[in-house]
Structure 1
Amino acid sequence: MFKDLTSHLKEKNVHSLNVVPSNNIELFDCYTGLILGALYRHFPLPITLTAEDFIDYKGAEAGNRAALEKEEDLFMGTLKWLADVGYIHFDGMSGISFFEVVLTNPGLLLLRAFPEGADTAPTIGEKLSQCLNNETNAELRGLVTEALSLGSRMIRPMTRSGI
């Protein structure tokens, strides 16, 4: 789970299972921010994303298998949802890994937008891609909320892909 996001995630983009956001929505927001930030940072190159990139398996205790499975399910559900609504595309998945993940045109446009009230500040994508260095959990979630709100006005509803 997330531990102050700024200090713990600098090393490997992972979070500790000992410090968990209080509900699925908070965790979804954190995963969404980290995923979109990573994709923006690597754009236009597709990358492989795996739960191991975001979950601290080494810090998990042996009795935490249920918590690990929930984390993996939330990570995979977040990635699938981002693809279903049209922000990202991936070519395949296996286990807890997604292959050839890249931003779609609507996803890139969303991340190139400026945060509300700013014309020259870093874009939402730039801020998300820098979240490991200077964003707190609350700031990351705020950026995701703003991005998803903007995206709901930009992107027409899509149907579930069946993946």
Structure 2
Amino acid sequence: MTTNNIELFDVLTGRVFAELYQHFPVAEHLESWSYRDLFTGTPIQDGWLAKEDAIFFQSTVEWLGSAGYIEHGNSLNNGDVQFCVLTAKGLEVLKAFPMSLQSGPTLGDKLVDASKGGAKEVLRGVASEALSLGARMLTTHLGLPS
């Protein structure tokens, strides 16, 4: 993966987390078309991203599932992913406070605000912090050094 892929992954992760956090505990249908502003490829048609963009979106959502942050249902041909919801781990991470604060907005609240304001750098940073926190929680749970 290139740095650009990692940056796009972090922004997508932030937006996906924000959407699922806002609607928790209701499962959401994540439509790849709703994230089209983050991609540079030319859409195939209305409602369908360029194939490589749809694959990247879908792969991001599926990875979040395999890493234990979300649960999801079927993945569709246009890149959409059905029945997505935060897991207990995902919710716990997003309800945490940023490492620099002991109070104030949670990571989830910060992601929601950033996604509404289109602040991609904030989305990247907070999503990265959330994924790191989740990894630290897992290593602690398994008794491994963090």
Output the TM-score relative to the length of structure 2. Answer: 0.81
- 2:82 is the alignment partner of 1:94: no
Matched residue type, 2:56: L
Overall identity of the aligned pairs, in %: 38
The number of residue pairs the alignment matches comes to 130
For structure 2, list consecutive stretches of 5 or more residues without a partner in the other structure: 140-146
List per-residue Cα deviations over 1:6-49 (Å, max 9, x = no partner): xxxxxxxxxxxxxxxx7111110110000000000000000100
Equivalent residue for 1:51, pick from 16, 27, 32: 32
Change (3 A) 1:92 1:119: same
Runs of 4+ off more than 3 Å: 59-62
Greater helix percent: which structure?
2
Change (3 A) 1:98 1:120: same
Matched residue type, 1:80: E
Deviation at residue 131 of structure 1 after TM alignment: 1.5
For structure 1, list consecutive stretches of 5 or more residues without a partner in the other structure: 1-21, 157-163
Q: Within 5 A, what are the aligned runs for 1:69-84?
A: 69-84=51-66
| Root-mean-square deviation (Å) | 2.1
Output the TM-score relative to the length of structure 1. Answer: 0.73
List per-residue Cα deviations over 1:57-97 (Å, max 9, x = no partner): 9x9377xxxx8222111101100100000000012222122
